[in-house]
Amino acid sequence: MEIVRPTTLDDALAARDALPGADLLAGGTDLMVEVNFHHREPEHVIALRRVSEIAGWEGRRIGAGVTWTRMEKGPLRALAQLSRTVGSPQIRNAGTIGGNIGTASPAGDGLPYLAALDAEIEVASAGRGVRRLRWDEFLVGVKQTALRPDEIIIAAILPEVMPVAEEFAKVGVRNAMVISTVSACVMRMPDSTWRIALGSVAPTVIRARRAEELLGTTAAPRGSLLAEVADAVAAEVRPITDHRATEAYRRHASGVLVRRLVGRCAA
Amino acid sequence: MSTTSVLGGIVRRREDPALIQGTGAYVDDIKLPGELHAAFVRSPFARADITSVDASAALAMDGVRAVYTIDDVRDLGPLLAQVPVGALRPLLADGAVHHVGEAVAMVVADDRYVAQDAADAVVVEYEPREAVVTLKDSASDRVKVNDSLESNVLMSWAGPFGMEPDQIAEVKAGIDAGKARDDVVVVSQEMTNQRLIPVAIEPRAVLADYNAGYNSFNVWSSTQMPHALAGAVATMFGLPTTSVRVVAPEVGGGFGCKLNVYNDEILVAFASRHLGAPVRWTESRREAGNSTIQGRGWVATATLVGTRDGEIVGYELEGLADMGAYSQNFTVAIPFLGLFVGSGQYKMPTYWKIDCVATNTATTDAYRGAGRPEAIYYLERIIDMYAREIGLDPAEVRMKNFVPAAEFPAATSPLGFAMDTGDYATNLQALLDHYDYAGWRAEQEAARAEGRNVGIGLASYVEVCGFAPAGLADLGFSWSAYGLPTAFNGSGVVRVNPDGTATVVIGTGPSGQGHQTTWAQIVSDQLGIPFENIRVRHGDTAESPMGVGTFGSRSAAVDGSATYEAAARVREKAAKIAAHLLEASEEDIVFADGAAHVAGSPDSSVPWADIASVAYQPHKLPEGTEGGLETHVVYSPANATWPFGSHLAMVEVDADTGNVEILRYACMDDCGNVINPMIVDGQIHGGLAQGIGQALFEEAIYDEAGNLLSGSLVDYPIPTAGDLPAYELARTTTPTDINAMGVKGIGEAGTIGAAQTVVNAVVDALSPMGVRHIDMPLRPRKVWQAIQDARG
């Protein structure tokens, strides 16, 4: 196994160009698990931690190398909430938003936030330069993305218009350090529309569009509307049954989570 | 008992700086020049015949020294087992595999990476066969777990203990007759006490170094029983025990999973001898799930017969206990420990029968509590159901049926065991008063009025520990299988060194229990030598003449008692010397503050350093006194000890998600006299965490093919600090009359007390919805499902 350790983005992209099949290593919290279990046997690894251009976080632009620990202490409420639920402090010191996007797990804790915001993923390659894809153009399946073999994830780009209220929560077997059974992010926007995104309940993170429509621009939904929203969410998600939970439970819990988060975001 | 300041006082654990700062040495920290690394080829099938093993590709790899199969080690015989009932484990699979993770071949290489890569390059051809995974399927004997077994049911434990089968049948018939009475209710429930993985933070690890010149082994192992391992190595390699030295250095948690001699320990020793180099192996977390022992795994039906005013007429438990594929150290004996406490704190006719059933899964053996948490769980759950059925408060039902305090000491339990001391009603009343149980119930009512699902759980327990009573030695409570025909006695060597410091060598070793602190307290109390001048040595078979090990909450009561007595005898001799030096009468000598004093003469004293110096110069000693200042005491307890207690939990259930939150957890434990309250509290904390972990989170889940689905820590959620409440602890004190210190044991009490307390609380919270029982672990999905089912 050969490890390339570039210190600039240009060098990283050049390495990516030269070794198109190489695995990208950021915090290693996903990649090293796969290597340990022989699910992946990399010939070439490009380690990105020394690349300073992707390590920064300025305003709406969160560099791919920004760790959970930094997001946990950052100004964005739901992003901080979700970051706190990721692994242990050691894992949060290592794991990055870019790695979470690149792994594209349905249970990726950062993805509901990006989906709710309609965030864009910025990628670059040596030959074609920079391009941006909306989250749902980028995340195309279970652990599948639109990233081309010569590209590297550079940043997550948040929109100019940010929510007035945002909340994240997840259901798991215990309070922390656990893979989510269901995760949800709910936002109320300045124009009073709602955004609802869920993780672990479909092949990719999804938006609950029907529930968003039901909420419309109701600033403080109550009673029967909340119940309708919960039912809509439960109907929209497409979860599976496995040894962690049943489909029925995941559907139900999705509705409950969204109902509660809408309540917390209400004006 | 002497009443100087140290014993019974909070003394901070002297081992913690090294453990916390990373300066303690675990097996993996001990490095020998030229050491090689072992890795295992493990079966991916729960049941298969092996048609071929091809190691040629592995052997061709750079850095690979050897690949061993059963053909290389068959002569050593199967792994020794203390209770050899059922199939014994071959050192490596012999033509067939019987559980996922069974070792098929061992690779030894220059480093761990090469060893692991080479293990992956060994080609094993398997012919898969049907695996038997569930208990009821296995007990039907539809398919044998292992061709060598006559039946998958290996044996049964039935009680009352000591009775002939026809007498036991009479007890059962009596209870059955009670069921027909028209003034009783019969409450019955099948319950699962799920399999658990012990999850020690430090995985198992072993390093073996064979010396050809002396034909001897040095072995370092993360074990709870170094003497047994030394005996096993000596027995299997045909050496005297003096040719094997086993050291258990710092051990990072055991909980019973290191209370076994494992095949990897023997194989690493074999490879070291064969290759002439030190060989080490360190377990991976996945191997810890598949290849190290697991615990629990019972499916049983509890039935309680009682009158409508709360008098229990009879109690029955019948069921199956999972032994896994092979019998190792105690395996089939674990349910026996459940039988000991099967009637709990109660006086009631009890019939008890648990069948030991093999399955194509990892071996089970002792896991913290070992049989006792299972037995108490069934009993305390069914008593709770009974109380609900007749509409009495669960505390009142328990109070009505306790073995009366007047029957102690030496009360005989309904299952036929002599219990040392107990005062159950006083203990439970102390719990109710101290924590204001009535106030809890009022709080619960108020919460329910707000629509919150708050429940209160109460459970009482007895534990049995301090193994082993002299009377049980002949029943096989010894390490005789490992060539050490010693009963489970205590061993304590107390030596005052020439400079007046003391060295204590004990036969048990800590895996976190704080022995270095507790034993120094015991000896300091006896001798008046300052705590900091006492060094406690453990875990080294070259230092300790005998040792049984740390398990079953036995260390303080058994090896502690040996040490206490050894110190008393050293004190007697020192008093003789001091009397000689001070020209005083021996009877007037008292020890305190690092010196011997003459009672009533404050100015007349001689420091320990002077006494010790004389003790090691026989010509200065009084005539007839031998040189040296050391005693070894082997202590054989007259009986086991029976700690007990009652716990109370308040939980809130989120009916929408099924999430359980423990709002309060309160204990009233009674472990007899307490040597160090801080260490006792710490033991309870850890025990509760493991009991609550079983109640809410943990489960070894196998699929129908025998694959462990929850073998990684992602899917095996042990509780974190964020999941646990701030424990509220208090104690009553009922000293045992079995040993001089009056101590009983506390290592497992928290685990034995906790699981049913939490489940009782959750069911209490959900009972208005009609939920009657939920099998552990009470994960959100299951709790939610139970609510849905109850609501129809």
Query: Are the beta carbons of A208 and A258 closer than 8 angstroms?
Result: yes
Q: Is the pLDDT of residue B2 over 70?
A: no
Distance from CA of B714 to the nearest CA of A (A): 6
Q: Output the pLDDT for position B1.
A: 35
Sheet strands (E) in B119-275: 123-128, 153-159, 184-196, 205-211, 216-221, 244-247
Longest Cα separation, chain B: 90
The DSSP 8-state label assigned to residue B143 in this structure reads S
Confidence of residue B4 (pLDDT cuts 50, 70, 90): very low
Just give the CATH number of B31-129+201-253+258-290: 3.90.1170.50
3 state SS for B376-443: HHHHHHHHHHHHHHHCCCHHHHHHHHECCHHHCCCEECCCCCEECCCCHHHHHHHHHHHCCHHHHHHH
d(CA B60, CA B52): 18
Average pLDDT rounded to a whole number, residues B252-268? 97
Distance from CA of B675 to the nearest CA of A (A): 35
User: B430: which 2 tokens?
Assistant: 């102390």
Taking only residues 636 to 665 of chain B, the set having a beta carbon closer than 8 angstroms to any beta carbon of chain A reads 656-659
Query: Does B780 lie at the interface with A, CB-CB under 8 angstroms?
Result: yes
Which candidate from B658, B701, B785 shows the least CB-CB separation from A243?
Answer: B701
d(CA B297, CA B356): 10
**Residue B460 is which amino acid?**
S
d(CA A267, CA B549): 63
CATH number (3.40.720.10, 3.30.390.50, 3.60.10.10, 3.40.50.920) of A166-265 reads 3.30.390.50
Residue B203: CB atoms within 10 A of its CB come to 21
Given an 8 Å threshold on Cβ–Cβ distance, is B656 in contact with A176? no
pLDDT in tens, A97-138: 999 999 999 999 999 999 999 999 999 999 999 999 999 999
Q: Which helix (H) or strand (E) holds B500?
A: none
Query: Are the beta carbons of A67 and A95 closer than 8 angstroms?
Result: yes
Domain ranges of chain A: 2-103+120-157, 166-265
Q: Output the pLDDT for position B3.
A: 39
Q: Which residue of A has its CA nearest to B715?
A: A244
- What is the second-level CATH architecture of the domain B295-467+639-791? 2-Layer Sandwich (3.30)
Longest Cα separation, chain A: 59
Residue (of B315, B454, B456) closest to B382 by Cα position: B315
Q: Which of A35, A174, A178 to mutate to test the interface with B (most CBs of B within 10 A)?
A: A174
Q: Is the pLDDT of residue B709 over 70?
A: yes
Query: Does B717 lie at the interface with A, CB-CB under 8 angstroms?
Result: yes
Given an 8 Å threshold on Cβ–Cβ distance, is B658 in contact with A181? no
Q: Exposure of B377 by Cβ count < 10 A (0-12 exposed, 13-18 middle, 19+ buried)?
A: buried
Q: Do domains A2-103+120-157 and A166-265 have the same CATH topology?
A: no
Encode burial over A113-147: b for 16+ CB neighbours within 10 A, e otherwise.
bbbbbebbbbbbbbeeeeeebebeebbeeebebeb
Q: Is the pLDDT of residue B6 over 90?
A: no
Enumerate residues 6+ apart whose C-beta is below 8 A from A85.
A109, A168, A170, A172, A176, A180
User: Which residues of A fall below an 8 Å CB-CB distance to B?
Assistant: 38, 171, 173-179, 181, 243-246, 248-249, 252-253, 256-257
Spans of chain A below 70 pLDDT: 176
pLDDT in tens, A206-236: 999 999 999 999 999 999 999 999 999 999 9
Give the global pTM.
0.94
Q: Output the pLDDT for position A153.
A: 97
Does the interface ipTM go beyond 0.90? no
CA atoms within 13 A on the CB side of A29: 25
Average per-residue pLDDT in chain B? 95
pLDDT in tens, B344-375: 999 999 999 999 999 999 999 999 999 999 99
d(CA A206, CA A107): 11
Is B69 in a helix, a strand, or coil? coil
Enumerate residues 6+ apart whose C-beta is below 8 A from B646.
B398, B427, B428, B431, B458, B459, B460, B461, B667, B668, B753
Q: Output the pLDDT for position A172.
A: 81
Distance from CA of A158 to the nearest CA of B (A): 31
Q: Is the pLDDT of residue B546 over 80?
A: yes
Distance from CA of B114 to the nearest CA of A (A): 14
Domain ranges of chain B: 31-129+201-253+258-290, 295-467+639-791, 489-635
pLDDT in tens, B715-771: 899 999 889 999 999 999 999 999 999 999 999 999 999 999 999 999 999 999 999
What's the distance, CA B90 to chain centroid? 25
CATH number (3.30.70.520, 3.30.465.10, 3.40.50.300, 3.40.190.10) of A2-103+120-157 reads 3.30.465.10
Between residues B722 and B90, which one has the greater pLDDT? B90
**Domain B489-635 = CATH 3.90.650.10:** no
